[in-house]
Structure 1
């Protein structure tokens, strides 16, 4: 994705509103008119002079005087393996509850310096033992060190950085318009799912967690930010809009976690991530999680993480070992019927295609023959996408037809089968698609539907991904198709699209006119 100027992004994402002035290099500017008037008023009026021209009932606005256009000095002392991190705004110490509240043991979350309310919330959800990435990173992250985590999707990264942030935030107080901690993610869906995982834990510790993503009301998000939020989970573009409009300041955001940094790089978000990190305290803590650390991600680590502790759980190709990989060679005329039979199987299935139009077409064809399928892509509204994911999670929709971009935020357990209806572009996309199944060490099956002319491309991608699947010719109704995937004959009863279910239940407006 080509880098966009912030001025252009603000105009397109905020309904045409004119953004605040920016410098020649596109960085955020703090010298808005309201801020300038405040400084002039302070210089000419007595210290406690009343503001006669300002009505008392006017709503309070957060001070915008801390938006600095210049890049912070990165030479500020940062923690090292033999030193301590200097105090940061809003976090004078790691508040972990009353003395004696934190129990200690080995092999469980009690072995970490987590607040007692947080431990009780984990136990209430049936979470007792940490995943490897959590056990590796939590001690350093809670201690305030910069952490670099290499782990695949489904390895437990969300709690790895989420528990550390909540533990360090515990006992503090949110400031209007100035979040104390930040999580940056590449997609709206991933932001929602991170929030779903952390909100119950934050509520147990008295902390406020909110999402700031595109596709949702800007004004409502601004109102929530003005009330004060401890932890913001955001996509880079929408957060940049709020900073530019003066509804969010990052001067007291002492902790930042960047999740799926490699996908950020693929989607062209790293320039915005850099701009956001430049506005946070130079002495703040950085947690970065990525499947790979090459190219632009490695440069980002070198520029913004100080003496990071690196923890790697598994290499890129290790996760494919818990999956069964198969390639089905199908004729063009049979591909639709084979996909529908696979979608009719019991359990959750994700089917990947390349374009949003193909996703709509495949989902519609499957619903027409009785398969509870829905499409997920960037062309749908956020409300439609939320409804589709909700029905996929609760089982009302068992087949999800998704594009690569939209599926980057899908983190749903118990997805036992992934189908490449359209082969991926490269090995990286193959592994990321496959990562929707076999999460947290569970078993899963990955199937690629291949037409004869795609044979060379599919073989090359599989070899680069480190898998060697056998090529099996199949037709609708074949025993081998049913044995591997559990494919069934669809019911043939047409079904309604869950994304449009709400609007279809509304009464149609009555026409008025001459009779």
Structure 2
């Protein structure tokens, strides 16, 4: 059994950097992966988020790349990440662990000037960390040549699949030499990922340290039943209720609009809050992340763009204001807390309409999640207030008729309040050329 990082065969400079970072013992995935990476084997690794997966490939890669020199526009290694935040996080890992090794690195992500990135590439880089789309942009401009790539890492492969990046990844792999070392890591291992592994990897060493889609034991999970219109009030109540135990928290919503609305609501109530979603420019996203890391804001409201891109060991709480549409995203969301052996807590808001989504979450987690009984929560079998009177008034109007036509009278006082956000969003995106209003749907031409 491996006791220390020195037992894994890493170089002296890396061991010093790891010690400086305060790590003493490797995690299970690091114990299994690092020796095989140093041997030059292809790896197919499955480990839940927060288990040290990133260091399991960054540490041995620094050791491997310590010998040799990069040429202009021809990176010696490539790491593909699904999101800008995760790519930036991996870059920070290389800075931390490679400070005693003279390796060059470039980070290629959207929202950053091409010119600055091209300057780095022209000098030659040992490690190229990129999102698939931005890397292809540079390849098409002739600024990156991948024919000298020795090591390829495909990180968060299941997220790549979910976000539709696999065609881009296939194009990138097609630009690389056939003989290379490929490392593929994923938090979950659906059948589609196994097929990709067969396509990209040669005789890989497979390893898994936890059951796919499992959650860490360091995270205390709970849910609270709420009415849809009471979510904001319940969130404020829970934040106040947690008191000093809440050091900072990530608050997840399913939609970008909900992120913006909740941010405005909490900010108006005086909470130290930030926001993060995919439509923000990169500089704003990084600014909020930095404020969250330094404690300038303790609450960060985000979409699932942050479910895998954040590695902040001190996050104490995760609030799921919405049950995620994809059950596996629940695993990644709550994996933002309880990291590096610390204790964390997650609380999910569940409404009556969330029955199917919540059942899928409990199935994938594989264990019972207790319900919090607190003031303001509502039994799920209860109907929302005023439901019965509304139905009664509707039944009265059904009997009325328009005498001139002999048809049921239409209620022209309909409100858009009943429509869900998705429908409203579609209507607001509707564009009709000037002078062609006859193309509008009937209910908009009244």
**What band does the TM-score fall into relative to the shorter chain?**
0.7 to 0.9
Greater shift in the superposed pair: 123-132 or 153-162: 123-132
The answer as to whether partners of 2:187 and 2:213 remain within 8 angstroms in 1 is no
The answer as to whether partners of 1:351 and 1:418 remain within 8 angstroms in 2 is yes
2:154 corresponds to 1:258: yes
- 1:430 match: 330
Tell me which of 378, 383, 404 is aligned to 2:283: 383
Report deviation, 1:327: 1.5
Structure-2 separation of matches of 1:311 and 1:459: 29
- 2:98 match: 202
Greater shift in the superposed pair: 239-248 or 192-201: 192-201
Structure-2 separation of matches of 1:244 and 1:354: 34
Greater shift in the superposed pair: 295-304 or 222-231: 295-304
- 1:231 match: 127
The change in CA–CA distance for 1:366 and 1:143 in structure 2 (over 3 A counts) is same
The change in CA–CA distance for 1:147 and 1:457 in structure 2 (over 3 A counts) is closer
Q: Deviation per CA, 1:172-194, whole angstroms, max 9, x where unpaired?
A: 21211111011111000000011
Local SS of the residue matching 1:440: coil
Report deviation, 1:199: 1.4
Greater shift in the superposed pair: 343-352 or 273-282: 343-352
2:245 corresponds to 1:349: no
Greater shift in the superposed pair: 187-196 or 389-398: 389-398
Q: Deviation per CA, 1:241-281, whole angstroms, max 9, x where unpaired?
A: 11110001011111011111011111111111111112112
Structure-2 separation of matches of 1:203 and 1:459: 47
- 2:143 match: 247
2:304 corresponds to 1:396: no
2:181 corresponds to 1:285: yes
Structure-2 separation of matches of 1:459 and 1:257: 34
**TM-score w.r.t. length of structure 1:** 0.69
2:22 corresponds to 1:122: no
The change in CA–CA distance for 1:174 and 1:460 in structure 2 (over 3 A counts) is closer
The answer as to whether partners of 1:186 and 1:236 remain within 8 angstroms in 2 is yes
The answer as to whether partners of 2:259 and 2:277 remain within 8 angstroms in 1 is yes
2:200 corresponds to 1:304: yes
Matches within 5 A, 1:90-129: 107-129=3-25
Structure-2 separation of matches of 1:217 and 1:286: 29
The answer as to whether partners of 1:141 and 1:164 remain within 8 angstroms in 2 is yes
Report deviation, 1:140: 0.8
- 2:417 match: none
Greater shift in the superposed pair: 408-417 or 375-384: 408-417
The answer as to whether partners of 2:214 and 2:365 remain within 8 angstroms in 1 is no
Tell me which of 350, 366, 374 is aligned to 1:474: 374
Tell me which of 307, 317, 324 is aligned to 1:407: 307
- 2:209 match: 313
Report deviation, 1:320: 4.3
Structure-1 separation of matches of 2:320 and 2:45: 29
Local SS of the residue matching 1:471: coil
- 1:28 match: none
Local SS of the residue matching 1:299: helix
Q: Which runs of 5+ in 2 are unaligned?
A: 379-446
Structure-1 separation of matches of 2:353 and 2:35: 52
Matches within 5 A, 1:117-156: 117-156=13-52
The change in CA–CA distance for 1:332 and 1:223 in structure 2 (over 3 A counts) is same
Structure-1 separation of matches of 2:190 and 2:283: 35
Q: Deviation per CA, 1:65-108, whole angstroms, max 9, x where unpaired?
A: xxxxxxxxxxxxxxxxxxxxxxxxxxxxxxxxxxxxxxxx9521
Local SS of the residue matching 2:224: strand
Q: Which runs of 5+ in 1 are unaligned?
A: 1-104, 479-515
Structure-1 separation of matches of 2:213 and 2:313: 20
Q: Deviation per CA, 1:275-319, whole angstroms, max 9, x where unpaired?
A: 111211211100110123323211111012111111111112542
The answer as to whether partners of 1:419 and 1:448 remain within 8 angstroms in 2 is yes
- 1:97 match: none
Q: Deviation per CA, 1:353-383, whole angstroms, max 9, x where unpaired?
A: 0111110111111111111111100111101
Report deviation, 1:122: 1.6
- 1:76 match: none
Matches within 5 A, 1:185-200: 185-200=81-96
The answer as to whether partners of 2:48 and 2:210 remain within 8 angstroms in 1 is yes
The answer as to whether partners of 1:330 and 1:474 remain within 8 angstroms in 2 is no
Structure-1 separation of matches of 2:147 and 2:40: 18
The answer as to whether partners of 2:324 and 2:357 remain within 8 angstroms in 1 is no
Local SS of the residue matching 1:447: strand
Q: Deviation per CA, 1:197-239, whole angstroms, max 9, x where unpaired?
A: 1113223100012211111111211111001111011100000
